[in-house]
Structure 1
Amino acid sequence: MTQLTGRPILGAPGELGARPVLSALLAGVRTALIGLCVVTVPVLGLWVVTPYADGGADGTLRLVAALWLLGHGAPVLRGAAEAPLSVTPLLLGLLAVGQLVRVAGRVTARSAGRPGRGGAPAVWAGYTAVACGVVAQCAGPGEFRARVLPDLVVVALVAGAAVAVGARPRGAVPLVTGVLERWLARLPETVRPTGGAAAVRVAALAAGGGLLAAGGLLVAGAALLGAVSTSGSSEVLAGGPAAVAGVLLVSLVLLPNAVLWGAAYALGPGFAAGEGTVVSPVRTVLGPVPDFPLFALFPEPGAGGWRLAVCVLPALAGVVPGLLLGRAAAVGGGRTGGRTGGRTGGRAHARLDGRTGERVPWSAPATAVAALATGLLVGSAAAGLGGLSGGALAAGRMAWLGPVPWWTGLAAAAWVATVAAPIAVLARARSLRAAGGRAPLLPGVLTVPARRSALLLRARAHAAVTRLSGIRSGDPDSASDADAADPAP
């Protein structure tokens, strides 16, 4: 009786493998519905409080579906002219992907060790089923229209990637570390930062955070310096509280896009604001832009040269990665013993001195290679995020807004590698000097700690004094004992 009362009744179907799959399927449906509610509640609230609203509830729900699809990167068509709308509100995308990763991780951990696994695919299936309904609701004629097959494929791919990351025991970290370790292992031994994948990953995260902070600081500074036009603000205020709240909500969901645009501006290439336009520290060429507060942050053509000062922000973002790599180089790599995720399932170990058993610090060229790998990793991420943050607002002149992905990636990689490499080499030399060792220029020249060197020199000096005293006294036994006590080099 105690076993029956202490055992949950709902646990019996789980042993047959039916309930975990059904629970995971419902978890995917619930995750998609939560994302829809995040969009639906404020949009419907604005529609309710807006006097003389243009459209009815059907048009409002269509707008909700379009925003949900745009948050996943699925483009929609707008108006009777079917103008493309593909600017992804990254805040909605981050919320959707974050929820999927968390739910997939929880479902995978819960179904581990049980028969009838399949929690992660079931989460994906439930999420995609809701996406089918959203696409069908937004597919008919109206102000916003979804393209059924392309939009459904995009949502399914995004959901599949998020679920795959969440289903891994530790997310995407082992995957990135394994790819880095395999790439570094192909380098010649003289320039190979052995066991440095973890250090490169941490340095890349620090550099990426610095670039995002630079972009956010630039956006905040432009707003505080009064870059918002007075006319645009007065028109928004004239629309009443509902118009102001709507503009604030749209600005909020596009704020991550603005931060990435600011980072591209600070890196140098800048971004486009339509066909034939460019916004960068060097020059600004602007045409007519839509009346929107975030667009009012654009600098005026011929603005003062003070904007060139923002180019120092990416340089500052490369300082911390250089210091981190220098510290890792001085101790012979990052944390050892972590799985690399390679085909052999091996482990990444730092190279050890065969005589002392201590870690061998990286050489100066290997430290520079680690900085270069950090720059390449940051550049790849910057190119991808730059492409995601841009898109089209309409056909013709507004066919592309945002950073040019490959220019942004090249600039980020160049800034980080150029700044981090010399700082890492100097930090490595300083750390080795502070630890009492000498910095090897090439691998194979082993580092001798100061304490061991002092003991060795003291023993040799004592043997030399003993040998001299034995020769002067004419005692050959003392001289032979001194020769035997002299340690081998």
Structure 2
Amino acid sequence: MTDDSLSPAARLQALADRLRDRSPALAGCLFGGAVAAGLGLGAYAVVVMALWIGSPYPDSGPGGATGTAVSLWLLGHGVGLTRADTLTGVPAPLGLTPLLLALLPFWLVRRAARDAAEPETPQAPEIPARTVVWGVTGGYTAVGALAALYATGGELRPTLREAAWHLPLLALAAALTGLRSVRGRGADAPSPAGPDGGSGGVRAALAGRRGATACRAGLAAALTLAGGGAVLVGVSLTLHRDPARASYLMLTDVWSGRLAVLLLALALLPNAVIWGAAYALGTGFQVGTGTLVTPLAATSGPALPPFPLLAAVPPDGSGTPLTWACAAIPVVAGITAGWFTGRAAAPDRSSGTDAEGAPPPWSAPVTAATAALAALVAGLVCAVAARAAGGPLGTGRLAELGPVWWAAGGAALAWTLLLGVPTALALRAWRLRTRKPREAGSGGGRWAGAGLFGIAMTGTGLAVPGAADGGTDPEARPGADADIEEEAAESDDDPERVDPLDWWERVSRPDPVAALGGSFGTPYDLYDQLPAHGPEDWRALPAEEQAPPGERPAGREPDA
């Protein structure tokens, strides 16, 4: 019986049955998202209430402190705030989001999604990924909407239009990362063009393993830029430590106020790192309307407000060799993207043998396309980060703060494209080079040849002349032990390395000539520098034919 033959009542009953089957899992995911939002709000409320209690001059009651905590929680999601109570009577926007405030909400949502995706018992059925993601996101967004409505009556009022998409966007991204941490990702899609690439291979670089490689390379370049920005911030704060300390002490003289300033500076550190990365890219950042700070020149305008991080801004004037050296950061970032792409494009064949199970190498066009895609990823990441790290603080001079997002993204794209593509192609060519493998019995490489006293140096120790090529006498090794042959056949980390202990063990045997692979026909080559007492006194004898002192071995005639 098909669904078309069912009556409307039967269809409604079937739909109700399906909803009843899914309702426990969906309800659990919704509850997990709501709990994550509540924990985040509670954490912010605890910090704000502690500072409010310790403040000697509170200008509002507990309700105002709670509203401030909710507004800060929304600000951590990128929701802009507006302060209506100003000296001029004009509402002042507060759009500069301290990026560290977003860390706690993101982690809480990620943990909620991970807990929902993990089955309680091995026998429990697995909750569908769609239910986990949308359930956690929906529960979190519902609590966030109530919080935004509550904060509209406070001093810092959120922009509801931004809250309508910032809250679910952060929750969705965090839920996806939590789900991926439990169930991983699907297998990479195979390339439809095969290993040779061609035009189809270039198009296939946008998906599958090549797309994942491009994402990793682009993120590596962006992280390299962020690391360079962190170094610049640290160096600038060190060079301007006296002004930074003076501005910190100038803001307030009570412990609660100084603690609040310190927490705000720490929350703004990721913003400063992104500003430093934009500075290294050459596009710089703004510290007010009509200002621009770049490595070539800095125009910061009038004196900035006292704040420790603003004290680290370079002074007005042209650049110096120290500021010009910041160009090394995007250079390293571009090379990093190319290095990641080149390593994935080809296996290392320098040893002369292909790695077992290694995928086929990519063609040069596919490698270049993947590196270009990595540059695009790096540019997008930098543009989004620059957009999130800036924002207005009022309607006056500080109405424009932070990097220009499109300029920072374009500069990151250009640097990574110009340096990443050649680096990837060069590394691919280097890893595809082949070296002729060493042939068995060909000797010891650069150590082979005649050595001191006519002794040849080989990869396994010392040998008499003729040992390097195996000798011509078929019975050249009648006295060699089986363990010596096994030791000579064993692989070593460096086949051309000479081990003195191994050489001493060989020459200290009863028959050193046979142990070293020589011939019994020329037993005196090892002893041509010793006093000549008689051939029978210096003749090397096999171990099994050793004779007592003073007696001649059986079966050996005296030399004429």
TM-score interval for Structure 1 and Structure 2 normalised by the shorter chain: 0.7 to 0.9
Q: Is the 8 A contact 2:248 2:306 kept in 1?
A: no
Partner of 1:331: 347
Question: C-alpha separation between the residues in 1 aligned to 2:41 and 2:361?
Answer: 52
- Kept in 1, the 8 Å contact 2:226–2:277? The answer is yes
User: Is the CA contact 1:74–1:154 (under 8 Å) kept in the aligned structure 2?
Assistant: yes
Higher deviation after alignment, 151-160 or 127-136: 151-160
Residue identity matched to 1:279: V
- From 140, 149, 158, the equivalent of 1:136 is 149
Query: Residue 221 of structure 1 aligns with which residue?
Result: 235
Residue 348 of structure 1: aligned partner = none
Give 1:293 shift.
1.4
- Percentage identity across aligned positions? 36
Which position in structure 1 is the counterpart of 2:108? Answer: 99
Q: Which amino acid aligns with 1:326?
A: G
The alpha carbon displacement at 1:423 in A equals 2.2
| Correspondence list, 1:396-411, <5 A | 396-411=396-411
Of 257, 271, 274, the match for 1:260: 274
Cα separation, partners in 2 of 1:154 and 1:360, compared to 1, 3 Å: closer
2:334 pairs with 1:318: yes
Cα 1:197–1:171 shift into 2, 3 Å: farther
What is the Cα-based RMSD across aligned positions, in Å?
3.6
Amino acid at match of 2:101: L
Mapped pair 1:232 → 2:247: yes
Any idea what the Cα deviations from partners look like across 1:185-234, whole Å, max 9, x if unmatched?
Answer: 99725867865223222222221221110011111111111256254133
Aligned match of 1:470? none
What corresponds to 2:136 in structure 1?
Answer: 123
Counterparts of 1:403-482 in structure 2 under 5 Å?
A: 403-433=403-433, 435-436=434-435, 450=436
The letter for the 2-side match of 1:223 is L
The TM-score normalised by the length of structure 2 is 0.64
**CA offset digits 1:144-181 (Å, max 9, x no partner):** 11234542443234323433454457789669x77999
Q: Report the CA distance shift for 1:218/1:173 in structure 2 as closer, same or farther (over 3 A).
A: farther
Q: TM-score, normalised by structure 1?
A: 0.73
Instruction: In structure 1, give the amino acid aligned to 2:116.
Output: V
Conservation of the 8 A alpha-carbon contact between 1:391 and 1:400: yes
Alignment check: 8 A CA contact 1:268 1:281 kept: yes
SS at match of 2:157: strand
Q: How does 1:151-162 map to 2 (within 5 A)?
A: 151-162=163-174
Q: Is the 8 A contact 1:15 1:114 kept in 2?
A: no
CA distance 1:310–1:180, shift in 2 (3 Å): farther
Give distance in 1, aligned partners of 2:306 and 2:255.
Answer: 18
Please name the residue that 1:379 is paired with. 379
> Match of 2:60?
55
Q: Contact 1:219–1:262 at 8 Å: present in 2 too?
A: yes
1:247 — aligned with what? 261
Q: Give the aligned partner of residue 79 of structure 2.
A: 74
Q: Bigger CA drift: 120-129 or 371-380?
A: 120-129
Q: Spell out, residue by residue over 1:238-286, the C-alpha distance to the aligned partner (whole angstroms, 9 max, x if none).
A: 5222121111101111111111111111111011112101111111111
1:479 equivalent in structure 2: none
What are structure 1's unaligned runs of at least 5 residues?
1-13, 333-351, 437-449, 455-489
1:292 aligns with 2:307: yes
2:175 aligned residue: 163
Counterparts of 1:180 and 1:404, CA distance in 2: 38
Aligned AA (2:170): V
Using CA pairs below 8 Å that are at least 6 residues apart, which structure has the higher relative contact order? 1
SS at match of 1:97: helix
How many angstroms apart in 2 are the aligned matches of 1:311 and 1:258? 18
Alignment partner, residue 301 of structure 1: 316
Cα deviation per residue 1:338-361 (whole Å; 9 max; x = unaligned)? xxxxxxxxxxxxxx9xxx998543
- How far apart are the structure 2 equivalents of 1:287 and 1:180? 55
CA–CA distance in structure 2, aligned partners of residues 152 and 247 of structure 1: 30
Shift of 1:77: 0.6
Contact 1:227/1:299 (8 A) holds in 2: no
Aligned equivalents of 1:207, 1:331: Cα separation in 2: 22
In 2 relative to 1, CA 160–373 (structure 1 residues): closer, same or farther, beyond 3 Å? closer
In structure 2, the residue matched to 1:25 is 30
Question: Aligned AA for 2:272?
Answer: A
Shift of 1:67: 0.7
Distance 1:137 1:262, change over 3 A: same
After TM superposition, the structure 1 stretch with the greater mean CA deviation from structure 2, 77-86 or 120-129, is: 120-129
- Quote the Cα distance in structure 1 between the aligned partners of 2:148 and 2:358: 60
SS in 1 for 2:289: coil
Given that residues 296 and 318 in structure 2 are in contact (C-alpha distance below 8 angstroms), is that contact kept between their aligned partners in structure 1? no
- The count of aligned residue pairs is 401
CA distance 1:363–1:26, shift in 2 (3 Å): closer
Correspondent of 2:284 among 263, 270, 279: 270
In structure 2, what is the equivalent of residue 40 of structure 1? 45
Deviations 1:127-153 (A, max 9, x none): 12321331122111x421123454244
Instruction: Write out per-residue CA displacement over residues 299-330 of structure 1, whole angstroms, 9 at most, x where no aligned residue.
Output: 11016502111111111222333223222222
Partner SS for 1:196? helix
Structure whose CA Rg is larger: 2
- My pick for the range that moved more, 190-199 or 412-421, is 190-199
CA distance in 2, matches of 1:254, 1:179: 43
CA 1:64–1:185 in structure 2 vs 1: closer, same or farther (change >3 Å)?
farther
Change (3 A) 1:422 1:136: same
- Alignment CA distance shift 1:112-1:405 (3 Å): farther
The match for 2:504 is none
- Corresponding position: 1:146 with 2:158: yes
Partner of 1:283: 297
Describe the shift of the 1:386–1:149 C-alpha distance in structure 2 as closer, same or farther (beyond 3 A): closer
Check 1:271–1:56 CA distance in 2 against 1; reply closer, same or farther (3 A cut): same
Contact 1:191 1:363 survives alignment (8 Å): no
Moved more, 300-309 or 323-332: 323-332
Q: Distance in 1 between matches of 2:57 and 2:343?
A: 63
Structure 1 Cα separation of the partners of residues 394 and 197 of structure 2: 46
